[in-house]
């Protein structure tokens, strides 16, 4: 591949972050949580609506966590990363579009459609992320990953701005309709801007483990998955990183998914909560690039440490939040670290895995992320239900940042890279 084609592939790959981030902003973080709390779940008490949303998020992530490992392994065995990416894109687009039909009191319907959309969103990211080590060299992987997140925040922010304008600049009697139409815009945006990665990025060459040549692909997938589990102790550094990521991403994921509905419970107007989420999107763009630069100067691990310290301060401050301007300040702080922490976690992981098993290993990464997503909102929702308020829920996040950062300090990245290269050399090239 010449330099021009290489750059084109990187840009097309990064555009998928732009494509799917409308779901992350409008559906997961900003518009749907408010619509869920005030319209779909209007028949419930406020704390019940918060709990229902937390449990909905938990179920969605749990489904994705169960599906992705075997599908990721199958993608490596069959060389079908792009095919499975396209399938999960369509599942996500369908679930998102169906949210148009959610109206007053339809909280269960909203939960079901959101779960479908989230499965598509989460599953597609496994196969999208698995392409990263194939299109980016080790020297540029931090920069490329950061570029994807920066474009994601920009695209998600632009679409959220359009949706906020649709909702807030129209008469009150059509606000609900405009909100439902905003869900449709996310589905269309996601579908259209997924085209570049599906057309431009080529399916990476795949390899097989000796003995898989004549095996049924599904049987080979289960066998390879079992072998990887048995050999996890050989990937000691990678395994430590996965656990570290699980811990600190508990806090990050919960802040992302529960911020708006928490602010709504505290009595902040939707213009404050959604406006803050919109601000976060645009603040995150330059800071995602900044963290890519910072990783070049001090390393990805140390850059992640910086983000975890800031997240810890955010969690502490969130407990004392009273005024709308507090929400704005904390939102700005989240924007400075959200993209960088995620992008560098992805690229650091991508360095320590065998390239030919990238979908399988990124499925473990995704499972770690989903388990974190399950645990965080579940704890948040449970504390909220018990205390009949969510202020104490934010305190539980601090321990995840501290423990995750501590375990990350024990990860020997160079050793992890060496082990991955040795495993890659063991695999056999194939065109099957």
Count of structural domains within the chain: 1
Task: Please give the pLDDT value at position 432.
Answer: 44
Task: Please give the pLDDT value at position 430.
Answer: 57
Characterise 267 by phi-psi region: left (phi > 0), alpha (psi -120 to 50), beta (else): left
User: Which residues in the chain show pLDDT less than 70?
Assistant: 1, 207-225, 227-233, 256-258, 260-262, 367-377, 380, 384, 387-395, 427-432
CATH number of residue 13's parent domain: 1.20.1250.20
CB atoms within 10 A of CB 358: 27
Task: Please give the pLDDT value at position 75.
Answer: 79
pTM above 0.85, yes or no: no
Angle at CA of residue 15, ends 136 and 169, nearest 5°: 150
Domain region containing 12: 3-430
- How far apart CA 285 and CA 279 sit, in angstroms, is 10
Task: Please give the pLDDT value at position 357.
Answer: 78
Characterise 227 by phi-psi region: left (phi > 0), alpha (psi -120 to 50), beta (else): alpha
- How far apart CA 112 and CA 90 sit, in angstroms, is 16
Run of H or E including 187: helix 175-193
What does 193-208 look like in DSSP terms, one character per residue?
HTHHHHHHSPPPPEEE
């Amino acid at each position: 591949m010449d330099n021009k084609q290489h750059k084109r592939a990187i840009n097309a790959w990064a555009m998928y972050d732009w494509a799917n981030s409308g779901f992350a902003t409008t559906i997961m973080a900003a518009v749907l949580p408010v619509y869920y709390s005030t319209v779909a779940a209007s028949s419930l008490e406020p704390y019940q609506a918060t709990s229902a949303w937390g449990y909905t998020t938990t179920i969605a992530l749990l489904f994705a966590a169960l599906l992705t490992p075997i599908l990721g392994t199958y993608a490596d065995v069959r060389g079908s990363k792009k095919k499975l990416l396209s399938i999960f894109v369509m599942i996500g687009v369908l679930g998102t579009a169906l949210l148009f039909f959610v109206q007053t009191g339809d909280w269960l319907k909203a939960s079901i459609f959101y779960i479908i959309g989230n499965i598509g969103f989460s599953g597609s990211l496994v196969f999208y992320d698995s392409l990263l080590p194939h299109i980016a060299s080790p020297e540029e992987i931090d920069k490329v990953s950061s570029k994807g997140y920066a474009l994601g925040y920009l695209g998600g922010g632009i679409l959220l701005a359009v949706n906020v304008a649709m909702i807030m600049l129209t008469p009150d009697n059509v606000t609900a309709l405009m909100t439902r139409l905003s869900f449709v815009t996310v589905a269309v945006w996601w579908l259209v801007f997924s085209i570049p990665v599906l057309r431009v990025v080529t399916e990476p060459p795949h390899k097989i483990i000796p003995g898989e040549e004549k095996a049924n692909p599904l049987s080979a997938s289960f066998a390879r998955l079992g072998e990887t589990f048995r050999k996890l102790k050989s990937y000691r550094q990678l395994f430590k990183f996965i656990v570290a990521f699980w811990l600190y991403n508990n806090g990050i994921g919960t802040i992302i998914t529960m911020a708006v509905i928490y602010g709504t419970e505290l009595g902040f107007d939707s213009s404050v909560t959604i406006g803050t989420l919109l601000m976060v999107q645009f603040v995150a763009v330059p800071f995602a690039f900044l963290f890519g630069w910072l990783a070049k100067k001090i390393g990805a691990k140390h850059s992640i440490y910086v983000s975890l310290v800031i997240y810890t301060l955010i969690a502490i401050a969130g407990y004392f939040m009273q005024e709308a301007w507090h929400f704005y300040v904390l939102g700005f702080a989240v924007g400075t670290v959200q993209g960088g922490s995620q992008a560098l976690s992805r690229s650091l992981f991508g360095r320590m895995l065998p390239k030919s098993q990238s979908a399988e290993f990124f499925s473990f990464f995704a499972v770690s992320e989903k388990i974190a997503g399950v645990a965080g909102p579940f704890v948040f929702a449970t504390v909220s239900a018990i205390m009949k308020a969510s202020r104490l829920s934010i305190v539980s996040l601090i321990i995840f940042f501290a423990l995750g950062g501590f375990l990350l300090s024990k990860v020997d990245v160079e050793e992890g890279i060496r082990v991955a290269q040795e495993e890659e050399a063991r695999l056999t090239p194939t065109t099957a």
